[in-house]
Structure 1
Amino acid sequence: MAALPLPVTRAAASDQQQQQGHGGAGAEVWRRAAKALLFLAAVALPCLVLYHRAVVAPGDLFGAAAIPWRRAAADLDSEDGSLERVLTAAAMRRPSDTVILTTLNSAWSEPGSVLDVFLESFRSGESTRELLQHLVIVSLDTAAHARCGQVHRHCFALVTDGVDFSGQKNFMTDGYLRMMWRRVDFLREVLEKGFSFVFTDTDIVWFRNPLPHFYPDGDFQIACDHFTGDPSDLNNAPNGGFAYVRSSAETAEFYRFWYAARERHPGLHDQDVLNAIKRDPYVGELGVRIRFLSTELFGGLCEPSRNLSRVCTMHANCCVGLRRKIGDLNAMLQDWRRYRALPREEKREVSWTVPRNCSLFHTQEERG
């Protein structure tokens, strides 16, 4: 016989109904809460996406191609950081935060070319080998950067979009002028980062440490094609291939003014523009103290140093054509080695055998 259900008292029935009523109310509360949460999520999600779009790098959410100007800014930041690291690693302690800089393209970096003679001069000079640890080679194309990595410690790749600096750039050609102006703008960046520098063209051989011979009162000191004998004389003919510049807000602004002045003097070399602005009232207002370096200490083929016992550097200026430069740079090194090998009493009789190959009078067809 089936068991009969137990009788339910009124009190028990009342308790059961109350429990069922509370359960129904609780379910209703949860349903409403769920709807509210869904509504909040629907509103918050688009806001969250917009927030991430504003603050997260574009490649993280949308891919690099979605916002190309952001990608370009990120690349610039990366290049800027790389420059900072290279300069910091190479900087001297005395003078504080000073680096030696040279620029290089592939035509000058090939084995047996200008770069090899340049580096060899540091190794064979007096108190110059240790300066190599403070030299930063700024490469203007990928081939030059690869070559730098093979032969030197501090290398920086200076990329210029849409410009090919790899080939030989003959004097005053369009490619040559672009390369020179890019150099001026780059040196301004170095100054703004707080680094003083000795800039040297790669077609300069170093025989002695030049740092003790810079003027203590000069902010911008530059070598000359012709030196009048007075380091403050603005009639000196400057050569931008060698300069010592102290970092300051004034020298950075001077470089910015120099670079901007190219637009007022289209088609001119950076040295010619420097000659045009060196007497500008604005330069005087900046208070940048300009000094010109003696060719006795910082000579070149335009005006060779006459004293091998004092000369610090020699420049293959006033010379057109890469092969001719290499020939006379090697000859300078030979003269230097011959000088150093002689007894002291015979050293004063040694003189340069250059120029051998260089001349200003070669025709355009011979300049390759």
Structure 2
Amino acid sequence: PKRTYGSRDDKPFDRERKPFDRDRKPYDSDRPKRAFDSDRPKRVYTPREDKPFDSEETPFDAENAPVEVERTKRKYTRREDKPVDADNQSSESENKPYEGEKRRKLFGEDHAERPQRDYRPKAEEYIPKPRRRKAVDEVGIRLNKFISNSGVCSRREADDYITAGLVSVNGQIITELGTKIQASDDVRFNGERLKGEEKVYILMNKPKDFVTTLSDPNAEKTVMDLIAGNCPQRVYPVGRLDKSTTGVLLLTNDGEMTEKLSHPSNMSKKIYHVFLDKNLSGSDFKALLDGIELEDGLINADSLSYIDEDKTQVGLELHSGRNRVVRRMFEHLGYRVKKLDRVFFAGLTKKNLRRGQWRFLTEQEVAMLRMGAFE
């Protein structure tokens, strides 16, 4: 059992002390004890400065002073001049000439002197395959590509015109697809001769009240009026912007480029700045992102955001190229689009272009469009 301790107040102190029964060991019993209470007089100590100096000072004798002996310097010889002790030298060192001080080589300094070993397996010598010689009928350019390069239409539309009998080559109507011609052939479309024109690419900041449809006889102003007299080539708009819509518009005579950017499968990116007649609610905001059902199918915004915390202005990103799709999306939800401005199309912006101004694309921008890097 554990020992219990009481409080100090309860411990009695009036009990008798036990005597110490163990004999005390005498301390240095052989040495006489010193009496500290003796009457022996104490020793008197004097400070050091008062202590007399008893030794006699010896005077300096200049005549008998020791003379300093000048030691001759030891001459050292180079190792090559040092005589060889034949008794102490081994046979190897006798025959080994002195080469002087050697410079320590740096790492890799003698790399060129050592033979190189190629650890890579030797590949078989490449022998190019002989190319198949082109037949006579393969020389030339396809007729639909020539028509497209002339800026009339795309290749697909050119095929329709060929099968309809609207294209002639050297006075002969061609209706067979895949026909190849020479650059010197006389190709006519509806009786008008076609020429392979230089490719032109124009970026325009389209103003309001200008139409992009060139075949509309009732149109008062078209975008072609803005570049009249400044571009000898006949160019066509890529895609469509309605009369009230402003912003980025691309014009070119490159039929292949037009088809590439206009076809829905290529999904060219477009960004619009939309001005509404009232605030866009949160539920409608979500509905635009989730998708709404229009008369021509389901459509949804790829990205949507408010502009400067003003809920009447939104930025809308789309890849669809349907006709008036942005206006129809908001009209379906009960909003009226007061103003619509396209600020981005296929990697191109209207930077440094005021309303109605245009410019030619740079080589870098054209290369970007051809590579399809317009996301």
Q: Same fold (TM over 0.5)?
A: no
TM-score of the superposition, structure 2-length normalised? Answer: 0.23
Q: Which has the larger radius of gyration?
A: 2
Q: Name whichever structure is richer in strand by fraction.
A: 2
Q: Name whichever structure is richer in helix by fraction.
A: 1
TM-score of the superposition, structure 1-length normalised? Answer: 0.23
